[in-house]
Amino acid sequence: MIGAATPVTATPAEEAPDCDAVRCVALTFDDGPGEYTDALLDILAEHDARATFYLLGSRVDDHREEVRRMAEEGHGIGNHTWKHDDLTTLSADRIRDDLARTDRAVAEVTGERPRSMRPPYGALDDTAREAIPHPMMLWDVDTLDWQHRDGDRMREIALDGVRDGSVVLFHDIHETTVEAVPELLDDLAERGYHFVTVSELFGDRLEPGTAYSDARTE
């Protein structure tokens, strides 16, 4: 364990569903925490939904309460590097130092280091793959919310793309994204989906140094 904080104990929540028996999807939010993260956490709590947040280490200290709340409410927390550098432009030593610095920032708040990481831009090369000690989480549904900043378009892309075992990419630094989440959660719930963390979706299948885009086995 890294850092001096006592591990945050999640508040009692509904037991995670068996994703081998029901439809599950992992909603993931990158580049935060930010000014809209707390509102997103309110929305997720109202819908009994868990998500995974891939955090920038440079933002953690300014948003300690939000990060602690993520852990307390049972959400997943992942490493998205210190300040979103393209890892394919860095040496192996710089990659390891960057990820370790971000791990420490998270652990100082939650008491535990992130269980997985997401490379900025999804960019990986042989050097990065060999240097990264975490499971590497990509995605199979990219809502492009950062590009169009249109909540209706974001929902349309997500609804068209989501399948059982999907990992969906959003960015909680955009107000339009957060505002569109409640209706998206309702729509996906009507289709029978359960909202779980990346760790819950994959179970014990995540291996350090391996990249994943979804949890489908076929």
Instruction: Tell me the C-alpha distance between 161 and 149, whole Å.
Output: 18
Instruction: Tell me the C-alpha distance between 142 and 152, whole Å.
Output: 14
Task: Please answer whether residues 194 and 185 qualify as being in contact, where contact means their C-beta atoms are separated by less than 8 angstroms.
Answer: no
b/e per residue 6-17 (b: at least 16 CB within 10 A): eebeeeeeeebe
**Residue whose pair of structure tokens reads 């997500």 in the numeric block:** 158
Instruction: Tell me the C-alpha distance between 214 and 218, whole Å.
Output: 10
**Residues catalogued as catalytic:** 30, 171
Amino acid letter at 199?
S
DSSP 8-state symbol, 156: H
